[in-house]
Structure 1
Amino acid sequence: MNIYARASHYMARYAPSKTRFLAYLEKKNASYPEEILATIGYDESVMLDAWMRTFINTGRPIFDIKIKLLNKKFEREDIEKKIETFFAELHDWGNFRFNIEKIIQNKLQKGKSLRVLQGELSSKFPYFRDEIEELLGHYSDDSGLSKEIEKYSRKYNLADQKELQKFYQALMRKGFRYDAIKNFLNSEE
């Protein structure tokens, strides 16, 4: 494989900063690295855009994005400019709402409690804590709680007091409130 093909592959796979790319080419003993970059169409701004979009889509906070990009050897000034460019996108609820709703539905199907789900989503998407809380207000713990009660009632003997206590503890570790569990069990009897 010639150096141009290797360089193209490296660029496509790692989206490196110019500093990292030049270090890679030096390691491969490439002569005229600047010419190679020009020939394969390397543009550091495009690489920085790619990383910004990746970090935005994963819900990373701004300070975390800065640290990650600095570790990837991008220039501080370029990072600041990109953050200014993407600032509105970082704080636009419309961009994230659909993905967050999908996450909520998937997690609820798996039996997660709303309380645990709110904690997870608020830490993953810190800019949208209020919106997430409002969105979760439209959902109920009932389906998740019923799934978990069904699952744990097979595991524990609810007639035995110690087993019943373990049953409650297991459900409470999942984030369900004691009174909700008790009310659900009473309504089934």
Structure 2
Amino acid sequence: MPTITKITVQKKNTDRYNIYMDYGKGEEYAFSVDEDVLIKHQLKKGMELDEFSLNEIGYQDDIRKAYNRAIHYLSRRMRSETEVRKHLAEKEVEEPVIQEVIHKLYNYHFLNDEEFAAAFVRTQMNTSDKGKSLIRTELKEKGISPQLIEVALEEYPRDAEVAAAIRLCEKYSKKYARDSSKILKQKLEQMLMRKGFNFDIIQEAVSETEIDKEEDEELAALRFQAEKAKKKYANLPEFEYTQKMKQALFRKGFAFDLIEQFLSEEE
């Protein structure tokens, strides 16, 4: 039966030990183990190890290495169970070992999907411009259960979500200042939808934002859009030019009477 002949500390990693054994042909390096595994199995010089013991030691050491890898991964920020499982799987850790590691992480309170989800919602609420629907999708992608997601989203009160949507409307209304009031409203609604706000929040936020322009402001926006359209239709015959301009400006959300006013001024 193989016998341990020497145990030495690794130079670069003092928490791991090299085990040397005699398999009947003299001493040779056999394997390395973590300090915890060394202590747990009481490995020492002169100890005989059968095949079952060697397999068990190898399995326990795989768990320890994967556990250390998971702790390092978790040290950067909180993670969900699914994220940790995916990370270990990408490192080619076998499923039984991953299962043992996950169990240990829960026992030592390094994993808690409920706390993770609540913290994630608070972070997104305070540092991003996302609505609940988008945050819900992101939590789902991180493997959080639907039940825990809905509990976590309670961290994001409705008034805070409305305030976030209004801030976005105010920001983007400046960006789209040269659009008609109608198109501006459409763009704001589409933007808020992409950001993950629901219909009720969108309607409330848009209604709180000054979208309807004064006539002179709307006319200024129309002139800006008309200049771009003129480049496209400038070489057309007069009648066709006028019709194309009317159609283009109408599609841009301007009222017919304002379009007619502009075209009359242009003539």
Give me the TM-score of the superposition, normalised by structure 1: 0.70
Conserved? CA contact 1:17–1:48, under 8 Å? no
1:115 Cα shift?
Answer: 0.7
Percent identity reads 22
Cα offsets for 1:38-94 (capped at 9, x unmatched): 99x666434554357548723354xx654553343102222111122213355433x
1:75 aligned onto 2:145: yes
- Number of matched pairs: 180
Cα offsets for 1:117-137 (capped at 9, x unmatched): 212323425314144235213
Structure 2 stretches lacking a partner, 5+ long:
1-67
Aligned match of 2:240: 162
Conserved? CA contact 2:124–2:130, under 8 Å? yes
CA 1:121–1:59 in structure 2 vs 1: closer, same or farther (change >3 Å)? farther
Report which of the two has the higher share of strand: 2
Q: Which has the higher contact order (CA 8 A, sep 6+)?
A: 1
1:152 Cα shift?
Answer: 1.7
- 1:128-167 matches, cutoff 5 A: 128-134=202-208, 135-137=210-212, 140-157=217-234, 160-167=238-245
Aligned match of 1:58: 130
Partner Cα separation in structure 2 for residue 47 and residue 103 of structure 1 = 30
Give the one of 148, 165, 168 matched to 1:96: 165
CA RMSD of aligned residues (A): 3.7
Report which of the two has the higher share of helix: 1
> Max radius of gyration: which structure?
2
Aligned match of 1:20: 83
Letter in 2 for 1:136: I
1:147 Cα shift?
Answer: 0.6
1:3 aligned onto 2:77: no
CA 1:176–1:89 in structure 2 vs 1: closer, same or farther (change >3 Å)? same
CA 1:27–1:153 in structure 2 vs 1: closer, same or farther (change >3 Å)? closer
Structure 1 stretches lacking a partner, 5+ long:
none
CA 1:90–1:24 in structure 2 vs 1: closer, same or farther (change >3 Å)? same
1:180 aligned onto 2:249: no
Partner Cα separation in structure 1 for residue 107 and residue 176 of structure 2 = 47
Partner Cα separation in structure 2 for residue 60 and residue 174 of structure 1 = 31
Cα offsets for 1:144-170 (capped at 9, x unmatched): 211111222233237611122112212
Partner Cα separation in structure 2 for residue 188 and residue 50 of structure 1 = 56
Aligned match of 1:106: 175
Q: Secondary structure at the match of 2:150?
A: helix
Conserved? CA contact 1:16–1:47, under 8 Å? no
